Amino acid sequence: MAFAHTTVLRDPTAAAVAAGVRAALAVDRRGSPAGAVADCTLGGGGHSEALLLALHDLPEVSVVGLDRDPQALAAATVRLAGFGSRFRAVHGRFGDLPGLLPGALLGVVADLGVSSPQFDDADRGFSFRADGPLDMRMDPTRGPTAADLLDSVRLEDLADVLFQYGDIRRSIGTARIVLDEYSKGANTTARLAERLAARLDRSRSLHPATQVFQALRIWVNDEAAELERLLDDVPDRLAPGAALAVITFHSGEDRAVKHAFAQRARTDAFEVRERRGVVADGAEVAANVRARSARLRVLWRRTEFDLTRRSANIDDGENE
């Protein structure tokens, strides 16, 4: 199957991270500017490609693309082969970034969630539009599938998962229905979705199984913990001037990013320039429905120059 994923917020993401790379290199007065940008969610390679093009005049800067999905790595490696040694693909989780890519980072991109090919391939078990196994692993080489987890989960724990990751309010009742139908043989994606549609509230425009599937996917892939590790570890590893750009697709994720960035920006070392983040314009949403719920937030590590300018501004303000 061809790997087709339309990159969301491609230009603003690449522009922010490339500006951060240039600021970081300008700070490096020792004249040793070589370094790497990490694309934590390589997918089809769209953001990596945009970055490599935006930084074409800086051949000493490379992009390391990380993904936990071997299919994504293979496809992006083919797509980006023309960039030679400026691009390298690494199999792994971005929660393990410090071990996988030690040292200071000239910039970081994380475009969260699943890629279209993961969603479109019924055998991966992410979607209920076509029937497939209840798998949902981004990395099919390791870890429990959704079915493995459902085999042994307690009702209360599943309810927590549905509440936290699917924003499902009556989560105990929904968890009971999921476990009941699963145990009665609804153990594939389309079958489970069909049973949920028959028993859950159908008054909303969303398919009743949508939030349940989102919650199961986030649980299977430990996405909340992965994001937390990224937000904890990466800011301090940014070179002065560099940017961390994160694109989220649902409110829980966006809240976590907004909160973590705001905490960092309370210190002098970091800043957030666009407080509300950046969303896709009408043309992008018309061309790609996935862009509708995307929000880009960027955290910048301040340079000494930023800090001096900032304290001069504060002094000026105080003297007025």
Ligand X SMILES: C[S@@+](CC[C@H](N)C(=O)[O-])C[C@H]1O[C@@H](n2cnc3c(N)ncnc32)[C@H](O)[C@@H]1O
Residues in the site for ligand X, rule: CB under 6 A?
A: 5, 7, 41, 43-47, 66-69, 72, 93-95, 111, 113-115, 138, 226
Is 167 or 228 the residue whose CB approaches ligand X more closely?
A: 228
Q: Which residues pair with 9 in a beta bridge?
A: none
The Cα-based distances of 287 to 7, 44, 72, 280 in angstroms read 11, 18, 22, 10
**Residue whose CB is less far from ligand X, 121 or 167:** 121
Q: Whole-angstrom Cα distance, residue 301 to residue 65?
A: 21
Residues forming a β-bridge with 90: 66
Nearer to ligand X, 161 or 247 (CB): 247
Q: State the nearest-atom distance from the C-beta of 220 to ligand X, in Å.
A: 11
Residue sitting closest to ligand X (CB): 43
* Residue closer to ligand X, measured from CB, 81 or 318: 81
With respect to ligand X, which residue has the nearer C-beta, 111 or 306?
111
Dig out the tokens for 234 from the structure.
């990466």
Distance between CA atoms of residues 247 and 108, nearest Å: 11
Give how far Cα 146 sits from Cα of 135, 186, 256, 260, 266, Å.
5, 13, 24, 29, 39
The minimum distance between CB 214 and ligand X, in angstroms, equals 14
The Cα–Cα gap between 227 and 110 comes to 9
Q: How far is the CB of 41 from ligand X (least distance, A)?
A: 3
Q: For residues 13, 287, 65 and 240, what is the CA-based torsion angle, rounded to 10 degrees?
A: 0
Q: How far is the CB of 96 from ligand X (least distance, A)?
A: 8
Question: Closest approach of Cβ 80 to ligand X, in Å?
Answer: 11
